[in-house]
């Protein structure tokens, strides 16, 4: 054993290095083929080039903006927070010990991203966002400390931000990229003032000393797992996670993650018991008591972690299901429930002692209330929008990643570019725009298809479902066929623009108008055909 150990070590090292090298190589190829060419540093937007306002400078906003400028559009990013906390979005405001739970191959928020590890840390993720921001010369196009509070159309049908046309100009399209994690949620627990220890939010653990202390984590989401890991690594004496509801935990295994994200129905189906049974049998094993009872895996965002169970088995931590009764001097009085007993149901009352309470209670959702009131009218209110991101009344608004509720997949992947390019297509080619009527029918159809789902039709999705949506949306309209390669891969934008120009000529010869009939016409918007010819090819 002693002889083989150094050899095993060497072989593992070689194996990891070879894979890391191949991973980097593959990413360089992806960047070469799919990343849009950044504008030269001195480039000024062409006169009349369509302008897009991007709201939020997190990875979605930065990625969307880079696609816009890379395809010849002008952009202005509005970020509510100062640069230090705003650039990089939520990844600028979490612990340095945070890291991706899902494999980075499923977190390629931009084609030029180059991950040098499978599970990058907060600093690496932030760095990649900043690099894209710099590479696409977005610095001079970003206004920090500028929360967007309103969005209105002027008489020419152009969007005006914060009622200030003179300051920011007007916009043809909007990408709302406000994310889903806003300010930390810090609910006050009953009699919290009695507690003699310290209370922190899970996103604020940097520099906190947990060595030799009893740490209680409130919440049962991904942040609770991160807080548990933080406490283990800090040498806490005892760690208890108090979770009032159950979520699925899936292994950190890229094949398993991709397979689970490949459910084209995006909902629980009659065969969903198979992955659930496999997970209980081979992943949870002796800890299957922690797994959710009666809650399907395709209903709620699962947590991705493989080490948690090892920590519990090693006696370093406990994961307790139940309800907080109140806080006491020494800790938390807790009603410990068994598997399957609902929230507030009967259980065993215990005192969980604590020196530190970590509130892993999540984040409040950033508001989209700056959008026109119309888009919030049920039954077509978010997330029940076209493809979940386009409010049916306005194909010029793309709420990229901002209406997301639950999913298997990730928030930061190629879909950011696909949604952005769909918006660009709608902006430059009115014939490709769906009308309000058809957008609503699409939403109705999705509801019908998912009528037996335990969640709302748009409250849960999987990647395969997204791909199916995109293919269906592009394939259904002949005027969009020419755009397919551009929308899906960001390549070949010269061809559709040439065809669009040809279509324009034909229409001019026939004396037809055409474009005005598509989407947003009731807002008095002028045809954007004038703008499209300025888009760089």
Ligand X SMILES: NC(=O)c1ccc[n+]([C@@H]2O[C@H](COP(=O)([O-])OP(=O)(O)OC[C@H]3O[C@@H](n4cnc5c(N)ncnc54)[C@H](OP(=O)(O)O)[C@@H]3O)[C@@H](O)[C@H]2O)c1
Residues within window 87-106 making contact with ligand X, judged by CB under 6 A = 98, 100-101
Rounded Cα distance between 70 and 404, Å, is 26
Q: Is 305 in the site for ligand FAD (CB under 6 A)?
A: no
For residues 149, 151, 155, 157, the Cα torsion angle rounded to the nearest 10 degrees is 160
Task: Outline where 282-430 has alpha helix (H).
Answer: 308-313, 415-428
Residue 333's nearest CA partner among 341, 324, 346 is: 324
Q: Is 162 in the site for ligand FAD (CB under 6 A)?
A: no
The residue from 63, 142, 223, 420 that contacts ligand X (CB under 6 A) is 223
Q: Which of residues 93 and 433 has its CB atom nearest to ligand X in the complex?
A: 93
Cβ atoms of 57 and 142 within 8 Å: the answer is yes
Cβ atoms of 161 and 53 within 8 Å: the answer is yes
The residue from 49, 65, 67, 78 that contacts ligand FAD (CB under 6 A) is 78
Residues within window 55-74 making contact with ligand FAD, judged by CB under 6 A = 55-61
Residue 44's nearest CA partner among 185, 148, 141 is: 141
Q: Is 390 in the site for ligand FAD (CB under 6 A)?
A: no
Query: Binding mask 288-317 vs ligand X (x if CB under 6 A, - otherwise)?
Result: -------------x----------------
Angle at 103 between CA 98 and CA 104, to 5 degrees: 80
Query: Binding mask 316-355 vs ligand FAD (x if CB under 6 A, - otherwise)?
Result: ----------------------------------------
Residue 350, phi then psi, degrees to nearest 5 = -135, 160
Angle at 170 between CA 367 and CA 160, to 5 degrees: 40
Q: Which of residues 66 and 361 has its CB atom nearest to ligand X in the complex?
A: 361
Determine the residue with CB nearest ligand X.
Answer: 221
Q: Is 60 in the site for ligand X (CB under 6 A)?
A: no
Stretch that binds ligand FAD, among 54-62, 336-344, 422-430, 475-483 (CB under 6 A): 54-62
360 binds, options ligand FAD, ligand X, none, Cβ within 5 to 8 A by partner type: ligand X
SS3 category, 168: helix
Burial class (CB in 10 A: 0-12, 13-18, 19+), 130: middle
Query: Binding mask 399-438 vs ligand FAD (x if CB under 6 A, - otherwise)?
Result: --x--------xxx--------------------------
Angle at 143 between CA 53 and CA 417, to 5 degrees: 40
Stretch that binds ligand X, among 42-50, 215-223, 231-239, 474-482 (CB under 6 A): 215-223
Cβ atoms of 55 and 78 within 8 Å: the answer is yes
The residue from 132, 239, 308, 324 that contacts ligand X (CB under 6 A) is 324
Rounded Cα distance between 43 and 356, Å, is 53
Other Cβ atoms within 10 Å of 267 Cβ, number? 23
113 binds, options ligand X, ligand FAD, none, Cβ within 5 to 8 A by partner type: none
58 binds, options ligand FAD, ligand X, none, Cβ within 5 to 8 A by partner type: ligand FAD
Query: Binding mask 451-480 vs ligand FAD (x if CB under 6 A, - otherwise)?
Result: ------------------------------
- Our separate counts of H helices and E strands in the chain read 16, 19
Q: Is 39 in the site for ligand FAD (CB under 6 A)?
A: no
Q: Which of residues 90 and 216 has its CB atom nearest to ligand FAD in the complex?
A: 90
CB of 304 vs ligand X, minimal distance in Å = 6
Rounded Cα distance between 500 and 389, Å, is 25
Rounded Cα distance between 483 and 485, Å, is 6
The residue from 48, 82, 187, 513 that contacts ligand X (CB under 6 A) is 187
Residues within window 364-383 making contact with ligand FAD, judged by CB under 6 A = 366, 370
Binding site for ligand FAD (CB under 6 A): 55-61, 78-81, 86, 89-91, 94, 98, 100-102, 107, 147-148, 177-181, 366, 370, 401, 410-412
């Amino acid at each position: 054993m002693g002889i083989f150990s150094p050899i095993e070590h060497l072989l593992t090292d070689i194996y990891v290095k070879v894979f890391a090298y191949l991973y980097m190589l593959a990413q360089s190829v992806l960047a070469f083929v799919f990343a849009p060419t950044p504008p030269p540093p001195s480039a000024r937007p062409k006169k009349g080039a369509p302008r897009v306002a991007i709201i939020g400078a997190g990875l979605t906003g930065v990625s969307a903006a880079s696609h816009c400028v890379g395809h010849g559009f002008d952009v202005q990013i509005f970020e509510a927070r100062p640069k230090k906390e705003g650039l990089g979005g939520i990844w600028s405001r979490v612990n340095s010990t945070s890291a991706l739970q899902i494999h980075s191959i499923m977190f390629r928020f931009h084609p030029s991203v180059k991950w040098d590890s499978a599970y990058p840390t907060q600093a690496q993720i932030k760095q990649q966002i900043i690099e894209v921001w710099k590479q696409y010369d977005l610095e001079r196009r970003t206004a920090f400390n500028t929360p967007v509070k309103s969005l209105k159309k002027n008489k020419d049908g152009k969007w005006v931000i914060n009622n200030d046309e003179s300051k920011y100009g007007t916009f043809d399209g909007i990408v709302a990229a406000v994310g889903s994690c806003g300010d930390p949620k810090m609910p006050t627990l009953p009699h919290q003032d009695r507690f003699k220890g310290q209370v922190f939010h899970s996103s604020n653990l940097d520099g906190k000393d947990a060595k030799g202390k009893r740490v209680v984590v409130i919440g049962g989401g991904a942040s609770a797992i991160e807080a548990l890991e933080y406490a283990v690594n800090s040498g806490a004496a005892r760690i208890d996670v108090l979770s009032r509801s159950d979520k699925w935990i899936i292994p950190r295994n890229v094949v398993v993650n991709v397979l689970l994200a490949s459910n084209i129905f995006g909902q629980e189906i009659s065969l969903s018991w198979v992955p659930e049974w496999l997970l209980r049998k081979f992943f949870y094993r002796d800890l299957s008591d922690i797994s959710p009872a009666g809650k399907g895996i395709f209903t709620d965002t699962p947590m991705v972690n493989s080490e948690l169970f090892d920590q519990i088995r090693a006696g370093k931590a406990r994961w307790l299901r139940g309800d907080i009764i109140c806080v006491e001097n020494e800790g938390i009085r807790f009603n410990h429930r068994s598997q399957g007993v609902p929230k507030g149901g009967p259980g065993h009352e215990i005192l969980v002692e604590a020196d530190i309470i970590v509130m892993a209670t999540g984040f409040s959702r950033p508001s989209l209330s700056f959008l026109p009131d119309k888009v919030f009218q049920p039954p077509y209110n978010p997330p029940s929008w076209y493809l979940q991101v386009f409010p049916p009344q306005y194909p010029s608004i793309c709420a990229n990643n901002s209406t997301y509720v639950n999913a298997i997949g990730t928030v930061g992947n190629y879909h950011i570019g696909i949604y952005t390019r769909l918006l660009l297509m709608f902006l430059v080619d009115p014939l490709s725009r769906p009308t309000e009527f058809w957008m609503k029918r699409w939403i109705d159809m999705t509801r019908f298809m998912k009528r037996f789902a335990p969640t709302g039709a748009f409250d849960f999705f999987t990647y395969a479902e997204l791909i199916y949506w995109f293919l269906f949306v592009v394939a259904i309209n002949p005027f969009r066929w020419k755009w397919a390669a551009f929308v899906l891969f960001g390549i070949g934008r010269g061809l559709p623009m040439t065809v669009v120009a040809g279509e324009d000529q034909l229409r001019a010869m026939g004396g037809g108008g055409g474009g005005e009939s598509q989407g947003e016409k009731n807002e008095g918007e002028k045809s954007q055909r004038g703008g499209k010819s300025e888009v760089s090819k």
